[in-house]
Structures are given as C-alpha cells and as structure tokens.
Amino acid sequence: MVLIYIDQDEQEIKKASFEAISYGATIAKQLGTTAEALLLGTVKNNLADLGKWGANKVHHVNNIVLNSFDARVNATVVAETAKSLGATVLIFAHNLNGRAIAPAVAVKLGAGIVTGACALPKTDAGFVVTKTVFSGKAFASIEISTPIKVISINQNSFGTVISDAIATVHELAVAVPSSTLKITSVHKIQGEVPLTEASLVVSGGRGLKGPEHWGVLLDLAKALGASTACSRPVSDADWRPHHEHVGQTGIQIAPNLYIAIGISGAIQHLAGVNRSKTIVVINKDGEAPFFKAADYGVVGDAFEVVPALTAAILKSKSNA
C-alpha cells in the first residue's frame, strides 16, 4: 500500500499535498496497490474529497494536539501508523514540514529515502527514483534497496490528476507522544502565494538599482497574479525580504513562468530557477548569461520594457 502524508496549516490542507496524493496514487497504480492518505489533526476540508486527487482511503488521526507541528511527535505518529497499516511506500511533499519529518520516518521504518524527487519511480526492475542534485544543476537516479521506500516529491514537478472519485474515511486511534515544543507565535505574510507554490513568478535583480524602483516589478506581478522573487545581492542588501531569495543558497523553485528582470544569470542563481517551465529574461545587456537559459528574451531597459509588458497583459486580459 502507498501511504501519502497530508500536510496541513491552520486547518487547511496544503496545496503541495494534493500533488503528493496524485503522485502517490500514480505509483500505487504502477504497483497494483491502493493509495491511502494519512491526516494528523483536524482540518476544515472534506476528507472524502481527497478521492478527487486519487486517494482510495483517508486515515484520520483526529487529535487536536496534532494541529500544531512538532517534527518529533509527527514522525512518531506517522511511523507507527505506517507500520500498523502495512505501508510499503510512503510519500511526502518536499515542502518545509515534509522535509522535517520524512527522513525521521524513514529511520523509524528502516527504510531507504529519496528526498526532492522530480519524477515517478521506475519500478520495472528494482525501485529507482530521480531527484535533482547540485541544487538544480543535475539529476541523479537513486535505487532504494529496502523493503519499505520513502519519497518526498518536489513541489510543482508532477502536477495533479483529478477525477470525481470519493475516498472512504477511517478514523484511527493512535497513541500520541506528548510534545515538549511550545509554539508561541506564527507570522504569516499576508495575501501572498508562497513562492514554492506559485505557478507564476516575477523576479528582480541588482539591475533595478534600488528598492525604490520595485514598483514596476510589483505592477507586473499584480497584473499577472504572480509571486515575487529576487536575486541574492538584492536580499543581502535588504532591498527585498530574505524569503524572496532564490538560487543555490536560497530557495529552488519550478514555476510555469519565471520572468527575470535585471538579473545577470549567475550559475548560482540559475541553479534555483532552471527547472521553471518557461523563462523570460529582460536585461539591457544582450550578452547577459541569463539569455542562454531563457525561452524568451527582451534586450532593453527594464524601466521601459516592464511597464510596456504590464500594459500589454492588462490589455489582453480586458480583451479576453
């Protein structure tokens, strides 16, 4: 059986978990077995609906204590449940909570693990999972040789498969170890799609010359409904917040569209964004290395090109 961990935040199931379900369900089909989801804590979502993304069953540990995330506690509960249900493959989203517990669960199950997978495993001979390595500069195919396998799947790398199926919901009583971690506050950035979940991203570099010039970029992001990112020197100089820093030492993203404005395309920057499906580069220097990694390029001054692009997008939206 393939068991998929459902991550929640403030009683809402995370977007990354829907993708994890579809990924796990596709593996289950490949192996001729069932796909079963596991949710800890209480959520507002209707659990039977998880059938839509491919879960045959949803196991629910309905304990309010589990609404706040404690890696040690969650990993213990997931491992105990996986053992008692006889799961042979476990799937996690490779988001922040998934990263925190998937390796611990693997240890508790004596299972081999591949984190940050970016494709379905090959299961015809052995069990081989492809993941990104060198922060996006290459891929590695890794064989897991233990009876139980654990995979965390990179966000936006598989997508979702939707049907109108309905899952059966099973309430589970599991002993929950007591937590010795006290969450004292949560701070959310209001009204923004987290960068790792965004399908459209507009990103700015040192070419924008200062935080006071970010307006043109923000207008474009607003017109598109895109999230915003930046290069490392920009966040180092506090022109933009740290969580926007993408690249080898920032976050790695794979949106459908990445628009780079005034970014030269250093190897460390490309590592974080080169899995984007479509890359648009706007740079006044036609020799900028980023153009080699781009699908579409505009050689021109960002302060003229970006407002013109924003206007063209708004025009095409009002015509639609």
Ligand X SMILES: Cc1cc2nc3c(=O)[nH]c(=O)nc-3n(C[C@H](O)[C@H](O)[C@H](O)COP(=O)(O)OP(=O)(O)OC[C@H]3O[C@@H](n4cnc5c(N)ncnc54)[C@H](O)[C@@H]3O)c2cc1C
Residue 288 binds which entry of another protein, ligand X, none, CB below 5-8 Å type-dependent: ligand X
Task: State the Cα–Cα distance between residues 228 and 240, nearest whole angstrom.
Answer: 10
Q: Which of 168, 171, 285, 304 binds another protein (CB under 8 A)?
A: 304
Q: Report residue 169: phi and psi, to 5°.
A: -110, 130
Cα–Cα distance between 108 and 124 in angstroms, integer? 27
Closer residue to ligand X (CB): 32 or 286:
286
Contacts of 114 (CB under 8 A, 6+ apart): 129, 131, 142, 144, 150, 151, 152
Least distance between another protein and beta carbon 59 (Å): 21
For another protein, which residue of 31, 65, 71, 172 counts as binding (CB under 8 A)? 71
90 binds, among another protein, ligand X, none (CB under 5 to 8 A by kind): none
Site for another protein (CB under 8 A): which residue of 45, 139, 178, 273?
139
Residue 243 makes contact with another protein by CB under 8 A: yes
Give me the residues that bind ligand X (CB under 6 A), please: 205-207, 231-234, 247-250, 262-264, 266, 268-269, 272, 283-285, 288, 301-303
| Residue 228 contact among ligand X, another protein, none, beta carbon within 5 to 8 Å by kind | none
Q: Nearer Cβ to another protein, position 169 or 288? A: 288
Give me the residue whose beta carbon is nearest to ligand X. 247
* Unique residue bearing structure tokens 């299972």: 111
CA distance 22 to 87: 17
Instruction: Tell me how crowded residue 181 is: count the other CB atoms within 10 A of its CB.
Output: 10
* Distance between CA atoms of residues 110 and 129, nearest Å: 18
Given ligand X, another protein, none, residue 146, with its beta carbon under 5 to 8 Å by kind, binds another protein
> Is residue 44 part of the contact set for another protein (CB under 8 A)?
no
* C-alpha 99 chain-centroid distance: 11
Considering the rule CB under 8 A, would residue 237 count as an interface residue with another protein?
A: no
Interface with another protein, residue 213, by CB under 8 A: no
Contacts of 265 (CB under 8 A, 6+ apart): 281, 288, 289, 290, 291, 292, 293
Angle, CA of 194, 199 and 204, to the nearest 5°: 70
Q: Give the range of 23-31, 34-42, 92-100, 164-172 binding another protein by CB under 8 A.
A: 92-100
CB of 96 to ligand X, least distance (A): 18
Q: Which does 302 bind (CB under 5 to 8 A by kind): another protein, ligand X, none?
A: ligand X
Site residues for another protein, 141-180, by CB under 8 A, read 141-146, 180
Using rule CB under 8 A, residue 11 touches another protein: no
43/37 Cα distance (integer angstroms):
14
The entry of another protein, ligand X, none that residue 213 binds, CB within 5 to 8 Å by partner kind: none
Is the CB of 71 or the CB of 120 nearer to another protein? 71
Q: Which of 184, 212, 238, 318 binds another protein (CB under 8 A)?
A: 184
Question: Token digits for 267?
Answer: 């190897």
Following DSSP, what letter does each residue of 106-132 receive, concatenated? HHHHT-EEEEEE-SPPB-SSS-EEEEE
Q: Does position 220 bind another protein by CB under 8 A?
A: no
Give the rounded distance of the alpha carbon of 148 from its chain centre: 24
CB 47 within 8 A of CB 114: no
User: In this chain, which stretch among 40-48, 83-91, 209-217, 305-313 interacts with another protein, using CB under 8 A?
Assistant: 305-313
From the CB of residue 56, how many other CB atoms can be counted at a distance below 10 Å? 19
Helices 215-224/302-319 angle, 10° precision: 20
How many CA atoms lie within 13 Å of 90's alpha carbon, on the beta-carbon side? 36
Site string for another protein, 95-134 (x = CB under 8 A): xxx-xxxxxxxxxx-xxxxxxx-----------x-xxxxx
